Amino acid sequence: MILNLLLSTAGLFVLIIRTRSWRRHATNLNVKKLPLVSIIVPCRNEEHNIGPLLQSLQRLSGVQAEILVVDDSSTDKTFEVAARENVRVLKAPPKPEGWVGKSWACAYGAQLAQGDYFLFTDADTRHRPDSLSQALGFLLQEKADLISAPPHHRCLNWWEQGLGLFHLLPLIAAGFPQSKGTSRIYAIGQYLLISKAAYNSIGGHEALRSSLTEDIDMAKGVLEKGLKYRIFPKTSLYEVQMYDTAKEFWRGWIRLLRLGMKKVSFAAFLEITLVYCLFFQFTWITIVGLLFLGFIQRQHGRFSWWGVLLAPLSLILFAVISMAGVLETLRKKKVTWQERDYVEA
């Protein structure tokens, strides 16, 4: 009984301490001369997403920005849909051997970008009008060279609304603050804002050309150069619907967790285990944890209160998908991403 209480308390402590950073204050942009930001959107077969994304980007306020869409050999109407909007639409040359498609498209866009800062973002995101102003203001206030921002999940499927804890676990595994030498780097490729100087300093996407976790490796490269990397402290910048169907959710998260597990430290694994201990036994500490989860998950997406009661199922699902990823790695199964197969390094 005492051991259970201690484990539950430790799990609650981890849950609170690892999510408190997402409630810090963020600032708006306040500079005399606005720098130009080049928004680079790599895309492949995104005809249903690219239109709404570009419409949200064209509503950005308080910044100077150019929008570059880089079509990476799409076989659908992505290029045609993007061309209807008031943005620059580029066709990337055929991907060279040894390059991951997304990094190739990002590198091509960066070559033609004119901004002092680059924002790399994905086609499945929807940006709020003041988002870039907030992000750039935070970067300048922190004197950072690179920032990444977590998404606010749209949860258009009813079953996603019950998976708040599932989506919080990768954030709990992340270490704060992000500094040189840390083994707990959190970054998300859906939102990477970097100065052009820092981008060139780390070798751009050419240095990441074969990486399937180019977001984490970009942050790692910045830190290894002695530059400053920060995580935006709120999920207020953009929304995302990562997967439309349960099948896409299953396959997508297997890929993400399979690749991410290679980056997880022992300390992160231990803390995740303590969170499992919190929700897989019933004590008064567990009730406090459920109430806190109900509050904090609403800051990260349109997650429902009834999903709090399914917290153990979220943890089981996370474990099952993680094990599926381990099995694929052991079987040396190729990683499929945007209809292309890659060998896991």
Tokens of 119: 């924002």
d(CA 321, CA 228): 33
Q: What's the pLDDT score for residue 319?
A: 94
Cβ–Cβ < 8 Å for 101, 212 = no
- Provide the terminal-to-terminal Cα distance of the chain, rounded to the nearest Å: 45
Q: CA–CA separation, 196 vs 178, rounded Å?
A: 20
Whole-number Å distance between alpha carbons of 95 and 79: 17
Q: Which residues neighbour 125 within 8 Å (Cβ) at sequence distance 6 or greater?
A: 53, 56, 151, 190, 191, 238, 239, 240
pLDDT in 10s for each residue of the chain, 345 residues: 788 888 888 888 888 888 765 555 556 666 667 899 999 999 999 999 999 999 999 999 999 999 999 999 999 999 999 999 999 999 999 999 999 999 999 999 999 999 999 999 999 999 999 999 999 999 999 999 999 999 999 999 999 999 999 999 888 877 555 555 666 788 999 999 999 999 999 999 999 999 999 999 999 999 999 999 999 988 889 999 989 999 999 999 998 888 877 777 778 888 889 999 999 888 889 999 999 999 999 989 999 999 899 999 999 999 999 999 989 888 888 888 777 767 665
* Sheet strand arrangement including 36-43: 88-91, 64-71, 36-43, 117-121, 191-195, 146-148, 229-231
What does pTM read for this prediction? 0.92
Domains with residue ranges and CATH for the chain: 2-20+247-342 (no CATH), 24-244 (3.90.550.10)
Question: Which residues on neighbouring strands pair with residue 230, listed in sequence order?
Answer: 147
Residue 233 has a pLDDT of: 84
Using CA atoms of 102, 105, 107, 113 in order, give the dihedral in degrees to the nearest 10: -130
Q: Which H helix or E strand runs over 118?
A: strand 117-121
CA 127 to the chain's CA centroid: 14
Query: Is 42 strand, coil or helix?
Result: strand
The token pair at 64 is: 């100077």
Instruction: Give residue for tokens 């499929």.
Output: 336
11-24: string of b/e by CB count within 10 Å (b at 16+)?
Answer: bbebbeebbeebee
Say how far apart CA 198 and CA 30 lie, in whole Å: 22
Which residue, among 303, 326, 307, has the nearest Cα to 315 in the 3D structure? Answer: 307
